Amino acid sequence: MTHNIARSRTKSSAPWKVSNSSPYLPPTNNTFFGNNSNGMARSKPVARDPRFSDLSGKLNVELFRKSYEFIDNLRDKEESALRQFIQKYNGKSKNKTTYLDQFGEITLEDAKKLLSKYKSQNIAIQNKREFAKLKQELKQKERLKLAISNKRTFYYSDAKIKKILKEKRDKEISINKIAKMEAKKAKKSIKSIPTRR
């Protein structure tokens, strides 16, 4: 069924004006619709992103980490190379350049920046792993509770898990501080024994 729609435009550069009283049939030379089309979209292969597709299956984080463990090893090598370079030329001119296999020509200042970047990235990676581990542990505990008693499962929010992690870290820090203070007190309490009589 074709519709003869009265189309008009005031200038040659202006867009077409189409009446709303009758249904609009797109032009036949449209790029999306086929040349001899009756308004049906032609079938095109749709690009599929494997990260968000159900066909790819679920993401196994542990397996992924084990598969790409070589990247962590490369990072460690690069970090150690940077440390050696900084130790060797530290205190000398900041513009001292040298050639490193992993980075090419690099200055001392750039090496320090890169090393600090690597350190912050390592901390972030470690935090992510701790978060994922704690989340998994909490899920397993809830499953066990559900199996033992028919109570409803409690779903921990990410904010709650982060709070638990923070409490754990604070506890560890306080324990370390107490241990250091006790060690200092022990050193002070030991009376200095003379080496000779």
At 70-96, the pLDDT tens digits run 999 999 999 998 898 888 887 776 667
Q: What pLDDT sits at residue 85?
A: 86
At 109-138, the pLDDT tens digits run 888 899 999 999 999 999 999 999 999 999
pTM of the model: 0.57
Residue 190 DSSP SS3: coil
Contact 94, 124 (CB under 8 A): no
Note the helical H segments in 108-157: 108-148
Q: What pLDDT sits at residue 94?
A: 65
Residues 8, 19: Cα–Cα separation, whole Å: 10
Write the burial class of residue 164 (CB in 10 Å: 0-12 exposed, 13-18 middle, 19+ buried).
Answer: middle
Ranges in the chain, pLDDT < 70: 1-9, 23-43, 93-95, 191-197
Q: What pLDDT sits at residue 79?
A: 92
Q: What pLDDT sits at residue 33?
A: 47
